[in-house]
Structure 1
Amino acid sequence: MSSEQAAEGEQQVWDVVVVGAGPAGASAAHAAACTGRRVLLLEKAELPRYKTCGGGIIGPSRDSLPPGFELPLRDRVHAVTFSLNGKLTRTRRSKNTLFGLVDRPEFDAALVESAKDAGARVRTGVTVSRVEQHGANVPDRRTVAVVLADGEVVLARSVIGADGSASRIAAHVGVKVDQVDLGLEVEIPVPETVAEDWAGRVLIDWGPLPGSYGWVFPKGDTLTVGVISARGEGAATKRYLDDFIGRLGLAGFEPAISSGHLTRCRADDSPLSRGRVLVCGDAAGLLEPWTREGISFALRSGRLAGEWAVRISEAQDAVDARRQALNYAFAIKAGLGVEMGVGRRMLAAFARRPGMFHAAVTGLRPAWRAFAKITRGQATLADLVRAHPVARRALDAFDRAEASRETAPAVPPAEVGDQEPVVERR
């Protein structure tokens, strides 16, 4: 019997159980384990595992990494080529690094190792079926039961759901979303001559569908090429990706991986907790609505979830646990929530006038400087809007125009699987 168990014959109760070992879950497990608490990190896949993601590490992501963490960078970006649906191409360059690029399997695995080094225990190949806060599996009101697919029950004083955009824990909490997007991506191995042409440079293409864009991120001998658009335009999004690859002259190279994924942004009134259960990262619908950047939101919300889950684990009654959970929600809304609010307004404006955004970032030095500041982590989008009256007035004008438009029809069902990522390896 483990020394961590309270008594002979009594099932071990973990202080914090984290479900999902992506950036949000690993960050949460690391933060909780650093306090010396008993932390268990559960992941259904075996690590490393593929994740549909460009792998861009902007300043806020870098600044949220565990102390001493060494980024496994595949490239450092000093130049960005912008295009408007393949036209009006222009490249902007910077003397200093704008952001870094990583392979997600390598990056995520390194974050999990960091959590293990902090004292968290990790179990992979484990599927969580549900969580229970009442019933036969719950011995007392201070305990949450995490029920695995094989029937095993894991007990915890607090639980963090970081199990992605199709989260079972989010369903328990009652997370609500008001924006769902479909991302399609391919990993294309390329010859050395092609790789050299892309080294240190990314491409961002403002796409043909409202709110859509595409990207090329170089990672050594592989290019990550993807597009994203609102759910409900699956066929058009696929055509955009095919056309995008063709315009780039990459259609003759066989992708190693083709994948699709749904991203979900939380509604303003969506809960972030239920009882002793918190959600963070994609499971909470936390990502930037305009760019759909999620790594920095995952790392930041994961760290906060880990810190507040420890406090919840120490709560002696439901009232205290709820108070700590509300404090977590306040911390999220005061930071990431504000950024998401501005991101929603930017997306609405961009969806209507992508050409204006392209002209600004390629032709106006202040707009390019703002882009560079955001990617380097020197300012957030919300900071820049607050600091510049012209930007505020422009967004206010777009908000008024958006409010006057007719309500858009409901989006149809998902195109990708059963709300799960689709990955095709070749």
Structure 2
Amino acid sequence: MFDVIVIGAGPAGASAARAAARAGATVCLLERAELPRYKTCGGGLVGLSADHAGVDLSNLVRASIDQLTVTLNGRLARTRRRPGRPMLSMVMRSEFDRALADSACAAGASLRTGVHVTGLREVTGPTGPAGLDGPAGLDGPAGGEVRAAERFQRQQAGCVEVSVRGGPDLRARVVVGADGASGRTGGYVGVRCDQVDVGLEGEFPVSAPTARRWAGRVLLDWGPVPGSYAWLFPKGEALTVGVIGSRAHGGALRSYYTDLVRGLGLDAVTPLHDSGHLTRVRAVGSPLRRGRVLVAGDAAGLLDPWTREGISFALRSGRLAGEAAARAALGDPCALVDYPRRVEAVLGPEMDAGREVQAVYTRHPGLLHALLTCMPGTFGLFGRIVDGRTTVARQLRRPGVRSVTAAITR
């Protein structure tokens, strides 16, 4: 019996395992793949990701970005520079995730790779169901009407049984699900998502002259498909190129990606990796726990609805989940109920702001391009948002900005 089992060793899972272990819990971190493993991801760390990673990034960063080229469907290119003040750090996710998992192990977590989780089951204790807030194990409006003493008894009595393929079941007092958008824990908890996007991405080896041309510079293209955009991220001798947009426009996105690769002169290059993935954005009010099972990161649909940036959301929600799981396992009767409220307080405003910006961008992509390329001060503000010195949510609270976005989306 473990205090905490964490399913998935990506940024959310490793962050949860590290936080729970540091809080004194016995932690088992399960990962389906062998590490290091490839992960479809642009690999750009915004300021909040770097701040919350908790690992030494000096040997992981492949490029520091202080230049931005923006285009509108491949046209109207404009490059802006911020010399000596990097906005983004580029990493390979295989290396970054390995470092995060290592940091969890250094904190005391036990890592098991090659483990395929096939199911979850809450084990009923002698005083009632393992869920703390009613027969279905779901949160009530204020954490349920069950008295704290009764919740504490149930917590002490029950546990979660984790079934794994080809091995014995594992048990823990609390489980943190960080197994991605298509994992089992999101379905178990009942996570609802109201935005599903598809990302297409390739990693291309390039010549030294091409690498030098993109060194320290990213490309963002506001795409022809409503709400879509493309990127080029330099990582030394490789370029990560991708597009993302609504799954409803999958065919158009494939054409967009093909045209992008051709336009960059990479169509004759055999990619190191070429893959696609789905991102799912949590619907407002969707559950973040069921009884003793918490979800974090992509498993909970926690990411920015506009940029689809998820690493910073994964690191922060993972830490909150790990702290809550450890507190609950070690006897705090309120920890599991508090977790959704803490996530809402920290990440809810950022997701709400992302929805607003995505609504404006979907209708008027040219407006965003004009703001970044023509309006004084906007590029500096964009840089401050990316490097974490301010947030979109904070900017949208300004009265003038609020009135403009309301008028545009009306």
Confirm or deny a common fold (TM above 0.5).
Answer: yes
Q: Contact (CA 8 Å) 1:133, 1:141: kept in 2 or not?
A: no
> Residues 60-96 of structure 1: CA distance to partner in whole angstroms, max 9, x if unpaired?
0011122656560000001000000000100010021
Report the equivalent of 1:79. Answer: 67
SS of the residue corresponding to residue 337 of structure 2 reads: helix
Q: State the distance in 1 between where 2:343 and 2:58 align.
A: 26
Report the equivalent of 2:122. Answer: 133
> Residues 388-422 of structure 1: CA distance to partner in whole angstroms, max 9, x if unpaired?
322111222234x2xxxxxxxxxxxxxxxxxxxxx
Choose from 390, 393, 401 the match for 1:379: 390
Report the equivalent of 1:361. Answer: 372
Report the equivalent of 1:116. Answer: 105
Moved more, 65-74 or 253-262: 65-74
Question: Aligned residues: percent identity?
Answer: 50
> Residues 221-260 of structure 1: CA distance to partner in whole angstroms, max 9, x if unpaired?
1000000010121111110001011111222212121100
Report the equivalent of 1:7. Answer: none
Say whether 1:281 aligns with 2:297. yes
Moved more, 111-120 or 388-397: 388-397
Q: Give the Å deviation of 1:206.
A: 0.2
Q: Which amino acid aligns with 2:323?
A: E
Report the equivalent of 1:415. Answer: none
Moved more, 35-44 or 176-185: 35-44
TM-aligned CA distance change 1:216 to 1:305, over 3 Å: same
Q: State the distance in 1 between where 2:400 and 2:124 align.
A: 56
Say whether 1:215 aligns with 2:231. yes
Q: State the distance in 1 between where 2:16 and 2:69 align.
A: 35
Q: State the distance in 2 between where 1:289 and 1:31 align.
A: 26
Say whether 1:36 aligns with 2:30. no
> Residues 114-159 of structure 1: CA distance to partner in whole angstroms, max 9, x if unpaired?
11111110000001111111369x9983311111122521110110
Say whether 1:200 aligns with 2:216. yes
SS of the residue corresponding to residue 123 of structure 2 reads: coil
SS of the residue corresponding to residue 232 of structure 1 reads: helix
Report the equivalent of 1:104. Answer: 93
Report the equivalent of 1:348. Answer: 359
Q: Which amino acid aligns with 1:359?
A: A
Q: Contact (CA 8 Å) 2:55, 2:103: kept in 1 or not?
A: no
Q: Which amino acid aligns with 2:185?
A: I
Q: State the distance in 2 between where 1:347 and 1:33 align.
A: 37
Report the equivalent of 1:91. Answer: 79
Aligned residue pairs: how many? 381
Q: State the distance in 1 between where 2:23 and 2:157 align.
A: 23
Q: State the distance in 2 between where 1:297 and 1:69 align.
A: 18
Off by >3 Å, runs of 4+ in structure 1? 67-71, 138-141
State the TM-score, normalizing by the size of structure 2: 0.90
Q: State the distance in 1 between where 2:57 and 2:203 align.
A: 26
Say whether 1:394 aligns with 2:394. no
Q: Contact (CA 8 Å) 2:233, 2:241: kept in 1 or not?
A: yes
Q: Contact (CA 8 Å) 2:25, 2:329: kept in 1 or not?
A: no
Report the equivalent of 1:324. Answer: 335
Q: State the distance in 2 between where 1:74 and 1:246 align.
A: 24
Say whether 1:49 aligns with 2:65. no
State the TM-score, normalizing by the size of structure 1: 0.87
Q: State the distance in 1 between where 2:264 and 2:313 align.
A: 31
Report the equivalent of 1:166. Answer: 182
Report the equivalent of 2:146. Answer: none
Report the equivalent of 1:417. Answer: none
Q: State the distance in 1 between where 2:158 and 2:385 align.
A: 42
Q: State the distance in 2 between where 1:125 and 1:374 align.
A: 38
Q: Give the Å deviation of 1:364.
A: 1.4
Structure 1 spans left out of the alignment, 5+ residues: 1-12, 402-426
Q: Contact (CA 8 Å) 2:173, 2:329: kept in 1 or not?
A: yes
Alignment of 1:233-252 (within 5 A): 233-252=249-268
TM-aligned CA distance change 1:70 to 1:153, over 3 Å: farther
Q: State the distance in 2 between where 1:326 and 1:243 align.
A: 48
Q: Contact (CA 8 Å) 1:71, 1:107: kept in 2 or not?
A: no
